[in-house]
Amino acid sequence: MAKPAEKNSLRIGDVAELLGLSPDTLRYYEKIGLLPRVSRNGSGLRSYGERDLSRLRFIQRAQKMGFSLTEIGMLLTMRDNPQRARADVRKLTAAKLDQVETHLRELTLLRNELRLLLNLCRGAKEGCPIIETIGREPSERS
């Protein structure tokens, strides 16, 4: 059952515009439980309050940090009792940091390879070293 609407509440379109989300995304977050059932006004329209906005901003920030919706759900659960969940939050965040570090190493390798290809292309008299290198097997590129 949805909670009653707050006095200073926003409608779904207002929240969507304010946070840069689509109304479908807001409904989806509610459907999968990232957002508790949103209160309804007398007409049955969704009515978002400050707590909802705070939760939605938390979701957006966590997504920007690379957390999946499943992980964000876990973080939101832990957010309700941070002292008790501290070790779990640290573990989840450490795992995310490991993923980011791996991704950064992969991106650094990719950047270096692209720079090399651009330099090869500048020095080539004929053909296209970029196309030729991309078409080779990884073992042939070295």
pLDDT at residue number 128? 82
Q: pLDDT band for position 122 (50/70/90)?
A: confident
Is the predicted pLDDT of residue 65 greater than 60, yes or no? yes
Q: How many CB atoms lie within 10 A of CB 136?
A: 10
Contact predicate 67/96, CB 8 Å: yes
Residue 106 has a pLDDT of 97
Q: How far apart are CA 95 and CA 89, in angstroms?
A: 10
Q: Give 64's pLDDT tier (boundaries 50, 70, 90).
A: very high
Give the distance between the most distant pair of CA atoms in the chain.
74
The answer, yes or no, to whether residue 24 has pLDDT greater than 80, is yes
DSSP type of residue 43 = T
Q: Which CATH class is domain 1-80?
A: mainly alpha
Res. 140 pLDDT band, cuts 50 70 90: low
Domains of the chain, residue spans? 1-80, 83-142
Contacts of 25 (CB under 8 A, 6+ apart): 16
User: Average of pLDDT values for 56-81?
Assistant: 93
For 32, the enclosing helix (H) or strand (E) is: helix 23-32
What does the chain come to in residues? 142
